[in-house]
Amino acid sequence: MRRGFLLMMILAACNPEPSRFGFGRAATVREIDSLNISITPDGKGLPVGSGNAALGQVLYTSKCAACHGATGTEVSNNRLVAVFGDTVKAKTIGNYWPYATTVFDYIRRAMPYNSPGSLTNEEVYSLTAFLLWRNGIIDSTKEINAHNLAAVVMPAKTLYINDDRRGGDEIR
């Protein structure tokens, strides 16, 4: 009896959480689809559509050049264009970005700055193609779409290493 009471006290003190509380509600497929815009570097999540550099150039001039410069090289803070091996200090898509899918993902999420989320998927593909072409990564005529964007090899990818700091008696 006394031992049972003690056991109860110990269990109460531990205050274990239930495996589920039952708070919140199930998300429907429609709800998930309406929010889920993420893209993985293997291309999963890329939407239907395609674009090319020629169309992208027109869009770039009207929607991007005000901040990023007429050719993507003029503004040091927002510079987008410098081919791999270029000695410019700016970190650009050509000399720094490791995955082409990130270009599409970021433009679709956050650009243009004065009207984020306003571009169609086709427009984002074209801008992506334009920027990849300007950075010397793809041919000017290449049609970019959900099936081939992830296969574009970004030259800076080979430079990336994982964090090697571990604390302890070593400065890294």
Measured CA to CA, the distance from residue 86 to residue 151 in angstroms comes to 23
Complex with other proteins: residue 5 or 162, whichever CB lies closer: 162
**Does residue 24 touch other proteins according to CB under 8 A?**
yes
Q: In the bound complex, what is the minimum distance in angstroms from residue 19's beta carbon to other proteins?
A: 6
Structure token pair of residue 134: 């300007």
Selected binder of other proteins within 102, 121, 140, 148 (CB under 8 A): 102
CA 36 to chain centroid, in Å, comes to 13
Please tell me the distance from the alpha carbon of residue 30 to that of residue 47, in angstroms, as a whole number.
Answer: 16
Count interface residues toward other proteins (CB under 8 A): 49
Distance from C-alpha of 143 to C-alpha of 95, rounded to nearest angstrom: 22
Residue 91 binds other proteins, judged by CB under 8 A: yes
Our CA angle for 134, 140, 146, nearest 5°, is 95
Contacts of 65-73 with C-beta under 8 Å, sequence gap 24+, read: 67/112, 67/113, 71/134, 72/131, 72/134
DSSP of 1-12, one letter per residue? -HHHHHHHHHHH
Residue 83 near other proteins by CB under 8 A = no
String marking each residue 38-77 x if it binds other proteins according to CB under 8 A = xxxxx-----------------------------------
Supply the minimum distance, in Å, between the C-beta of residue 126 and other proteins. 19
Q: Contacting other proteins (CB under 8 A), which of 7, 36, 62, 153? A: 36
What does the binding site for other proteins look like in residue numbers (CB under 8 A)? 17, 19-21, 23-27, 31-32, 35-42, 91, 93, 96-99, 101-102, 105-106, 109-110, 113, 116-117, 156, 159-172
